[in-house]
Structures are given as structure tokens and as C-alpha cells.
Structure 1
Amino acid sequence: MVENARMIELVVGDALMTVHPDEGGRIGALRVRGHELLNDDPSAAPFTWGCYPMVPWAGRVRRGRFAFDGHHYQMPANMPPHAIHGTGFTSRWEVLDAGLDYCDLATDLPWAFGGRATQHLQLDEHGLAAVLSVYATAHPMPAGIGWDPF
């Protein structure tokens, strides 16, 4: 494992994965059996490179507006006029733990409900096992999660 402030590199056999905590906690590169499985160009737009966590919502929130528990909310329009794929992919993620073949990341969610998201990424010679979780920290909250591409 190689870790610096911008990237964690995991290598198992001929499988390689880079993780970018400061770039939305995304997987930047994923190579298995000599094949790159992702667009690994970090100079591309945030929506188009790597594999990133969509949290606390996945997909599009039309015009960034929704209602929950009798209240109306306006989300930032990060793809005007809509809010898309949450806030996780543009947030900095904390490295909780990292080893030769895995890393654990977490971020606090910067939206009206708060909350926290975690990722466990585990590389082996056959590919990647990944777990993404979201937690309410103070009040009930809506949530939808996933990765793009998935």
C-alpha cells in the first residue's frame, strides 16, 4: 500500500486500485488482470472519472427540491437546474484505516440532515468488494446510496 495526502494505492497480485480521499472518496483506477476498468483521468469533470460514492442520494433530484416528513428542502443545483448524485463525490473523506489490500473511509454529510457515510473497499486478485453505508446522526433522514458507474 502507498498512501499520501491525495491517494492510496492498493496492489494485490496484478490487481491495482487507487483511492482518492480528497477527491470525493472515489476509486480513481481499478486494474484487474491487466484491464483498466474505469476512466482514470483526474483532469476530467467530477461526474466522469473513476468510481465515486453517490451519497446521501443517488440519481437526480428534480430542480433540487423534495419534501420529507412534512418539510420542503432545496438542495444545491450541482447540475443546474437539478441536484445530482449527492454531496459525497465532492467531499473530502477521512481515512479511518488502510492496509495492503483495503481502506476504510468516512465523511460527514454536508446537507440539511447531517449524517455520516462510510466506505470499506477491499481489493483481491479477482477484483473489488465494496460496502457503502450512510447513517443518520441526529434526526431521521431520507437517503439513497450507490456508486457511479455501478
Structure 2
Amino acid sequence: MQTRLTAGDAELTINPDNGCRIEGLRIGGTEVLRQGERYGCFPMVPWCGRTENGRFRNGVTVHRLPVNAPPHAIHGTVRDLAWKTARTSATEAVFVCELGDPWPYGGRVTQVFELAEDSLALRFGVESYDDSFPAQAGWHPWFLRNLGRGGQDVRVDFAPAWQEERGENHLPTGRRIDPLPGPWDDCFGMPDGVDVTLTWPEELELKVTSRAEWVVIYDEQAEAVCVEPQSGPPNGLNTHPHLVTPIDPLEVESTWSWRRL
């Protein structure tokens, strides 16, 4: 069953049964997200992007994950699960999801949505019940390239400190390079926090911000542009692990704010 939040002329639609993804964000009656079962905006937990060959290490233990983007495992597990509704109001909704098989550790993910007239606040909490484990969290929104009202295509503006060099296996090599022009399916470092502006000229400006330091930009499809704030780079379970413990959860937030042009 869908959950709808409204604030002013902004309307957010969430489907907890389909991975707790945002199915739509309408601003003044205009949809800004690509529609479809696989699109909208889905959560990436407990890892973001690709994990090399579906393997990661926790101490001396090597774990195997389902290879759903051969030869790698991609975008976590919770986007494929049904979430439980914890609470809702007109402008806020909270959902929870249990971590488990095929993820080898028990835990819980909480996702919070708070809608205002000119912004959407998103928050993740990733908790461990018993064992400590490495984890990542982030969002994968599909913003429409064109809003379909006869206007221009979206422009993406940001000033990263570096770009992660992408190897032939589509993973960061570990080398940081000066940012290259698009098209991109690439990870960028923003050590002062993610700050990316999408502008549909003479229509809408939408800013994606986060205290997280990593963002993946994907704009290789004609229909949409993805701006993905996340707690670490692709393959981060192996290269930049954030250890979640029973007393130290992983917490990540992002805000989308907009204004009419």
C-alpha cells in the first residue's frame, strides 16, 4: 500500500512494499522522478553501488553476496524487500526493515521521510543486533532529464574535490583524479559534504545536499539523471568500510530542496 505525504503543493509517494522506494515527487503538479517499478528513488543498504565479485571481508571472514550485476553485487538488499510502516503523519513517515539473508548479519534499517513545502529530508539508520559488520547507506534517485512541459533538459552543477578513477571492471581503482567531463557513471569526493544542483532552466532548481562525502553521478540514460549521495564509494565494503556495532549505528542523511524559476 502506498504512503502519501503532502506539504503545500508538494506530494511524495512511497511504496514500502517495493523496497520502500519513493515512487513519485510532484512539485506544483509536475513529477520530477522517472516513473516505473525500478525507478523513482530506492535505498542502497547495506552497500552502495558495486561490491567487487560479490565478496567482502569482515576481519578474517570472507562473505559472498548474490552477483546481481555480473561479475559484481550491486546496490544492497533492502530495495528488494518489503518494509514495515512504523508511523506516518501528513508530512512525515518512518519505515523499518530487517537485515538478513542473503546479508550475513542481523540488524535493522530505519528510513525517515520528512516533507516540507520546499524540501524533503531523508535519513537512514543502520543498526546491528549482535555482530559488528561493515556497511554503507545511500539513495539512488532517478531525476527526469526533461520535465515534459516543453522546457530544456536538466543541467547538473557541482564542484567535487576529486573523481574516483574508474577501472575496466567499473570499480574505483583507488586513484583520485581531477574531475572529467561527462557523461558519467562515476563517483566523486566532496569532503565538505555533497552539494549538487539540478536546474531545469526557467522551470525548477533542485539541490541535493548531504553531510556524506561521496556522490555518484549517472547520466548515461536518455530519460533520467541520477545523483546518489552515499556514505562511501562503490566497493566501499572492501575499501572504505564503516563498521556498524551494537552501540554505534551508521547514520546518513540527505536533503532535497527546490525553488521555482
Mark yes or no: TM-score above 0.5. Answer: yes
Higher strand share: 2
Residue 41 of structure 1: how far off its partner (Å): 2.0
Match of 2:120 among 128, 137, 143: 128
* Matching of residues 90-105 of structure 1 within 5 Å: 90-105=80-95
Alignment pair present for 1:37 and 2:32: yes
- In the alignment, the residues of structure 2 paired with residue 9 and residue 88 of structure 1 have an alpha-carbon distance, to the nearest angstrom, of 20
Normalization by structure 1: what TM-score? 0.89
Residue 33 of structure 1: how far off its partner (Å): 3.3
* Matching of residues 1-150 of structure 1 within 5 Å: 6-42=1-37, 46=38, 49-110=39-100, 111-149=103-141, 150=228
Residue 11 of structure 1: how far off its partner (Å): 1.4
Q: Relative contact order (alpha carbons < 8 A, sep ≥ 6): 1 or 2 greater?
A: 1
Normalization by structure 2: what TM-score? 0.52
Residue 80 of structure 1: how far off its partner (Å): 2.3
- In the alignment, the residues of structure 2 paired with residue 37 and residue 134 of structure 1 have an alpha-carbon distance, to the nearest angstrom, of 28
Percent identity for Structure 1 against Structure 2: 39
Q: 1:3 maps to which residue? A: none
Residue 15 of structure 1: how far off its partner (Å): 0.1
Spell out structure 1 runs of 4+ moving beyond 6 A.
none
Larger Rg: 2
Structure 1 alignment gaps of length 5 or more:
1-5
Residue 127 of structure 1: how far off its partner (Å): 2.3
Q: Secondary structure at the match of 2:13?
A: strand
Residue 40 of structure 1: how far off its partner (Å): 2.2
Residue 32 of structure 1: how far off its partner (Å): 2.0
> Residues 71-123 of structure 1, C-alpha deviation per residue, up to 9 Å, x if partnerless?
00100112222110100111111000001111000000121012110011011
- In the alignment, the residues of structure 2 paired with residue 132 and residue 26 of structure 1 have an alpha-carbon distance, to the nearest angstrom, of 13
Structure 2 alignment gaps of length 5 or more:
142-227, 229-261
Paired residues, number: 140
Residue 59 of structure 1: how far off its partner (Å): 1.2
Q: Which residue identity lines up with residue 129 of structure 1 in the other structure?
A: A
> Residues 38-69 of structure 1, C-alpha deviation per residue, up to 9 Å, x if partnerless?
11222xxx3xx011110011111011011111
Residue 37 of structure 1: how far off its partner (Å): 2.0
Q: Which residue identity lines up with residue 7 of structure 1 in the other structure?
A: Q
